Structure 1
Amino acid sequence: MAQPKIAVTIPVSDNCLSRLSSSYDVITLPGGLGSGSPAVSFEDVWAVVTNGSTGMSDAEMALMPGLKLACAYGAGHENIDIEAARRRGVRVTHAPNTNMETVADHAMALLLALVRDIPRADAAVRRGEWPKIMRPSLAGKHLGILGLGAVGIAIAKRAANGFDMSVSYHNRQHRSDVPYNFCSTPTELARHSDFLIVAAPGGLGTQHLINRQVLDALGPNGFLVNIARASVIVTADLISALEQRRIAGAALDVFDHEPQVPDALKALSNVILTPHVAGLSPEATQGTVELAGKNLTAFFAGRPVLTPIPLPPPSSATRHNL
């Protein structure tokens, strides 16, 4: 009996590809569906492995009349057309909580490096200089977290328990199961924060929540870290705030048009940039591979998938979907 055919439309590790190939007939298209040979047929593809950044459009689903499952490799799914999936009867899964500890580690690493200005100190020593750079401490400061999901909670625990920081958050709704202070708007959160970490999902519900008003509320002594999605921030407003020193600095792991990064950001000395690696670690990759594999196995065995994304009725998008 022939193995089920799946398409992998994102770069994945050799280990992941090997595991998938042992059970499925795999078409690899790491540059997306449009990167394959014109001769490649998707007629008998039953499942696609993608991610939140690459996603899957209605037009791409139309190329696969036999498609029954879109499997997001990771927690994000903002660029998968959920409405089209609902209409076409395509199940959508993701891999939540597989990299939250790694992302939280990276968020705190960026915050420490930014606030303590580690890159500038390192560069100075390498030049033979010995500057005494005076920078703030994290202890006793106020941390704001935009989006208190699994990643936000992991960051909050590190900040409160490891660095003696007070934590506030803005979420779609107040959470009664956490000891942190709830702020009703992103602006209110920024106003009460020395440091602001963006941990919200991408998508229309959170697009441009961080704008000039929020950045001005954060103020000239405030620092911003984004390990979520670039779409949550108005990039032009952020660049302006950094250039004019209306905020003290920013550390960014995500960008609007990756891998392109605005030259204006590269030129700024009060910015730290990393290439969308917050969720990458051997532990996180292993967890993601295993959960994606379990979802595929369950689906092809006719069992319920483990981590489905609900397929909503039409026109259900809302703002502040944190």
Structure 2
Amino acid sequence: MPPDETPEILLIRQTRPDVAERLSGRFRLHRMEEAPDREAFLDAVGPRIRALAVGAMCPIGAALFDLLPRLEIVASFGVGYDTIDVGEARRRGIVVTHTPDVLSDEVADLAVGLLLATLRRIPQADRYLRAGRWREGSFPLTTSLRERRVGILGLGRIGRAIAQRLEGFGVAIAYHGRTPQADVAYAYHDSLLGLARAVDVLVVAAPGGPGTNGIVDAAVLAALGREGIVVNIARGSVIDEAALVAALTAGTIHGAGLDVFANEPHVPQDLIDLDQTVLLPHVGSGSHYTRAAMARVLGDNLLSWFDGKGPVTPVPETPWSGR
């Protein structure tokens, strides 16, 4: 890079001012959301853009890459990156980074909280009290976490953190993933259907993308049984939402706690109308502490890249071995 050339970065759906504040001291920033005419904007600045800083769940692929011929790196704000075409990025020599580790504990905490809220109907009990119904009689008894068998779909960083927390509740834990992991004592099932048959709580912690799209289907839900509980803090696409609504409506399973949905922020009204669901607006990592840590990692990746040190947390599909 010539010493007088300031790298130019395109910000897409960035919601934290500290990201832009930190980067502005080193780079020239362009904000997609401020452009009244996106096509004209990209025609003007696209040939100069060398990096993207993108918010979570932003679709990034070949069409945008075509407009950014000098693009070197895509820094994503989040651990999941299924909306980024990493295969196309790899073919073009573009590195993709994400923000793993720093949000695992926060999301795992929420997963356990969502499980307890679903089992013990905590939001429903809160509404019962606020509506003045306690004076009419006690809130109905609920199901329990006692003697439950919990299955985790995806024993990655977040899945492991969830399992570690659940150990303290004395429940049996099993998991399904691409391969068994030698360093854990949890029971491994080589199929998702086999896991569902062995447990009555399914916690979804698997990444999104074509390989997991709709894999929690009607057969898996039926295998959980009438006392079954589904908790999803991963990606909404992993669950067949129509099958989930049908299973809840028919009593095939007992309840569901969901932080993610297939078409966010649009949540099926059928799920909203069901009383045995606890629904959250994708807040798994949504604390000031964790979002600030994620912002730091995103910035670290870009600063390290343009310092010639390579990315800090590249995704596995676009590894970097130096230049």
Fold shared, TM-score > 0.5 on shorter chain: yes
Distance 2:258 2:60 in 1: 25
Q: Does 1:122 align with 2:122?
A: no
Listed one character per residue, the Cα deviations across residues 182-222 of structure 1 (whole Å, up to 9, x for unaligned) are 11111111112121110000111211110000000011111
- From 147, 150, 153, the counterpart of 2:154: 147
* C-alpha spacing 1:312/1:278, structure 2 compared with 1 (3 Å): closer
Amino acid at match of 1:276: H
- Deviation, 1:30, is 4.8
| Alignment check: 8 A CA contact 1:226 1:252 kept | yes
| Alignment check: 8 A CA contact 1:29 1:35 kept | no
- The equivalent residue for 1:135 is 142
- The equivalent residue for 1:304 is 310
- The equivalent residue for 2:178 is 172
Corresponding residue SS for 2:175: strand
* C-alpha spacing 1:65/1:312, structure 2 compared with 1 (3 Å): closer
With the length of structure 2 as denominator, give the TM-score of the two structures: 0.91
| Alignment check: 8 A CA contact 1:99 1:280 kept | no
Distance 2:36 2:103 in 1: 28
Distance 1:22 1:273 in 2: 40
- From 38, 55, 60, the counterpart of 2:59: 55
- Deviation, 1:312, is 6.7
- Deviation, 1:38, is 2.5
Distance 1:137 1:165 in 2: 11
Any residues of structure 2 matched to 1:103-252 within 5 Å, and which?
Answer: 103-130=107-134, 131-161=138-168, 163-252=169-258
- From 35, 38, 44, the counterpart of 1:36: 38
Amino acid at match of 1:292: L
Amino acid at match of 1:251: G
Distance 1:250 1:30 in 2: 35
The answer for unaligned runs of 5 or more in structure 1 is 314-322
* C-alpha spacing 1:312/1:14, structure 2 compared with 1 (3 Å): closer
Distance 1:172 1:242 in 2: 28
Greater shift in the superposed pair: 123-132 or 231-240? 123-132
| Alignment check: 8 A CA contact 2:108 2:158 kept | yes
The answer for unaligned runs of 5 or more in structure 2 is none
Corresponding residue SS for 2:231: strand
- Deviation, 1:52, is 5.1
Distance 1:279 1:79 in 2: 18
- The equivalent residue for 2:93 is 89
| Alignment check: 8 A CA contact 1:51 1:77 kept | no
- The equivalent residue for 1:75 is 79
- The equivalent residue for 2:13 is 10
Corresponding residue SS for 2:294: helix
* C-alpha spacing 1:83/1:132, structure 2 compared with 1 (3 Å): closer
Amino acid at match of 1:110: L
Distance 2:20 2:26 in 1: 10
Distance 2:157 2:33 in 1: 28
- The equivalent residue for 1:25 is 28
Listed one character per residue, the Cα deviations across residues 248-274 of structure 1 (whole Å, up to 9, x for unaligned) are 111111111111111111111111111
Any residues of structure 2 matched to 1:285-296 within 5 Å, and which?
Answer: 285-296=291-302
Amino acid at match of 1:20: L
Distance 1:34 1:186 in 2: 47
Distance 1:91 1:302 in 2: 13
Structure 1 ranges of 4+ moved more than 3 A? 33-37, 310-313
* C-alpha spacing 1:127/1:311, structure 2 compared with 1 (3 Å): closer
Amino acid at match of 2:230: L
- Deviation, 1:236, is 0.8
Distance 1:308 1:11 in 2: 19
Distance 2:105 2:317 in 1: 27
Corresponding residue SS for 1:139: coil
Q: Does 1:274 align with 2:275?
A: no
RMSD: 1.9
Amino acid at match of 1:3: T
| Alignment check: 8 A CA contact 2:128 2:139 kept | no
Amino acid at match of 1:45: I
- The equivalent residue for 1:319 is none
Corresponding residue SS for 2:190: coil
Corresponding residue SS for 1:43: helix
Aligned residues: 311
* C-alpha spacing 1:34/1:181, structure 2 compared with 1 (3 Å): farther
